[in-house]
Structures are given as structure tokens and as C-alpha cells.
Amino acid sequence: MNLLELKDVTKQFGGLTAVDRLSLSMGKGEILGVIGPNGAGKSTAFNCIAGVFPPTKGEVVFDGQVINGQKPWDLCKKGIARTFQIVKPFASKSVLYNVTVGAFATTSGRAEAEAKAIEVLKLLNFDDKKDTKSSDLTIADRKRLEIARALATEPRLLLLDEVMAGLRPAEVDEMVEIIRFLREQGITILVIEHIMRAIMALSDRIVVIHFGKKIAEGTPEKVASDENVIKAYLGDEYGVS
């Protein structure tokens, strides 16, 4: 059974249709990449899944349950975690404190939550920085903190919003390795990304969105050679060749 399914999801802001009858599905343990030019509606679709706002039409189904319009904190308890494209650490607090907030999603005891947070940090080889104030972290470490925090909530579905944007190539490789490692832990992962090299290497399947509509779907190789995709990214004159 599919873990996540979008059925004809539409999101309108006033007269603007940001997402137009988008359908997609994700099997358990899959890594699905979502790409598209700037303003294509990727983040809007992402926010519809994460519960930031409800879709105007259509259904979001998680684990056989319609989750339209449910609040982010309830979705988190159901097993959906997300990261933010623009990182949002609790800046005045330590890395450990940040991750402990996430760990409280599954427990109420502080000692237990902290132990869980340390476990997650060790898993990501990040525990050496546990006492660092999160505002003192580098951008790569802040992205890693976003993932650690999300991971501490014990998600089944992890939504990653451009976790590689702004990273150096070596850091991108590392992040790819982290995401693969998370999948091995049994987590289903949806990735929005602009860095083609990473998303091609990472995804089992890729969905391409343009003007809110799905224009292509399939394996990375298939999508990369799709005429519509090349047109969307490079413009019409490059499409036929």
C-alpha cells in the first residue's frame, strides 16, 4: 500500500492556481524527488502535505487516512516530519536543546527525550556539537540540525525542502549519503531539490512540476531525457533537437 497519495490536489491563492490537480503516490521506503523551475508550485504542494494550509480541492492521503486540513503538530504525531528551506533553528539554544524539542513528540519525560536526542545526534555523527549554540553553526550544520530535529520525532515520512541549497559540493555529497542512510532506516522520503546532480543520484523516481501541473514522472534517466522537462527548464527553442 502507498504511504502517501495525492489525489487531484489543487491549491488556489485568490485567482492564482499554485498547484493544479496534482496526483502522485509514494510507496513505503521510497525516495521521491520533486523538481521544477522556480515558482512551479513545489513548495506549495509540500506545504499542503505538511499541513501548513489545506488544499483547495483534492485529497491528501497518508497511510490510508485523509489528512486534509490537519494541523502540522497533529501530522507530526502521525509520523510526518519536515525541514524548512530557510532553516529555523531555535537560535538561542544549543543543538541538543533543539533536537530535544523534537524528541518530546514521542515522550514527556525530559531525561528520556534528551537520551533520544543524543541517540539521533550520534546517528548523524553530530553529537560532538551537541552543546554548540545553534546560531553559531555553519549553514551545512544548520541543515543537518533541521534533519536531526525532524528525525527525533520518529517520522515514517520525511519531507525535505531543499536541504542541499547553499551547500558546497563536498557537503552535498555528504547530505546525499545522510538521506540514503535514513532510507535504510525505513523512512520514506520526499525531496524537493534544485541541485540536479544530487536529486538524480538520490531519487528512485522523480516528479516534475511546471506551472502547478505534473509534466513528467519516472526514473531519473527517463525524466532527464523527457522533452517537456527540457522545454520547461531551457525554453521552447531548445525542446526540439
Partner 1 sequence: MTGKPITGTGDNNTPYETDDAFLDRSALARQVVKDTINKVLLGAVLILVLALPAVITSPTWLHIIVLIFFYAYLTTSWNMVGGFAGVLPLGHAVFLGIGAYTSTVLSLQYGISPWLGMFVGGILAVAAGMVIGLPTLKMRGAYFALATIAFAEGVRVMVENIEYLGPFKLNGPRGLQIPPLNIGWGDFMFSSKVPYYYIILVMLLIILFLTWAVSRSKLGYYLTAGGEEPEAAQALGVNVSRAKVIAMALSCFFTALAGTFYAQFSLFIHPKSTISLDISFEIAFIALIGGRGSIAGPVLGALLLRPVSDLSRIYFGDILPGMHLVIYGVVLILVMIYQPRGLQEPLTRIYDRVVNRMAAGFIKGGDK
Alpha-carbon gap, residue 241 to 230, rounded angstroms: 11
Residues whose CB falls within 8 Å of the CB of residue 176, separated by 6 or more in sequence, listed in order: 164, 198, 201, 202
100 forms part of the interface with partner 1 (CB under 8 A): yes
Alpha-carbon gap, residue 121 to 232, rounded angstroms: 40
* Of 33, 55, 89, 220, the one binding partner 1 by CB under 8 A: 89
| 161 alpha-carbon distance from chain centroid | 4
200 forms part of the interface with partner 1 (CB under 8 A): no
When computed from its CA atoms, the radius of gyration of the chain, rounded to whole angstroms, is 18
For partner 1, what does the binding mask look like between residues 17 and 56, x meaning CB under 8 A? ---------------------------------x-x----
174 forms part of the interface with partner 1 (CB under 8 A): yes
Neighbouring CB atoms inside 10 A of 42's CB total: 25
Number of residues this chain uses to bind partner 1 (CB under 8 A): 43
Query: Do 116 and 152 touch, CB atoms closer than 8 A?
Result: yes
102 forms part of the interface with partner 1 (CB under 8 A): yes
* Minimum distance, C-beta of residue 92 to partner 1, in the bound complex (Å): 7
* Minimum distance, C-beta of residue 63 to partner 1, in the bound complex (Å): 17
Please say which residue, 65 or 92, places its beta carbon nearer to partner 1: 92
What strands lie across the sheet with 16-27, from one edge to the other? Answer: 16-27, 2-13, 57-62, 65-66
* Minimum distance, C-beta of residue 107 to partner 1, in the bound complex (Å): 8
Residues whose CB falls within 8 Å of the CB of residue 51, separated by 6 or more in sequence, listed in order: 67, 69, 70, 71, 72, 74, 75, 80
150 forms part of the interface with partner 1 (CB under 8 A): yes
Stretch that binds partner 1, among 54-62, 80-88, 207-215, 224-232 (CB under 8 A): 80-88
Q: CA nearest 137: which of 99, 105, 100, 80?
A: 99
203 forms part of the interface with partner 1 (CB under 8 A): no
Please say which residue, 125 or 225, places its beta carbon nearer to partner 1: 125
* Minimum distance, C-beta of residue 61 to partner 1, in the bound complex (Å): 20
Alpha-carbon gap, residue 179 to 163, rounded angstroms: 10
* Minimum distance, C-beta of residue 189 to partner 1, in the bound complex (Å): 15
* Of 17, 20, 57, 84, the one binding partner 1 by CB under 8 A: 84
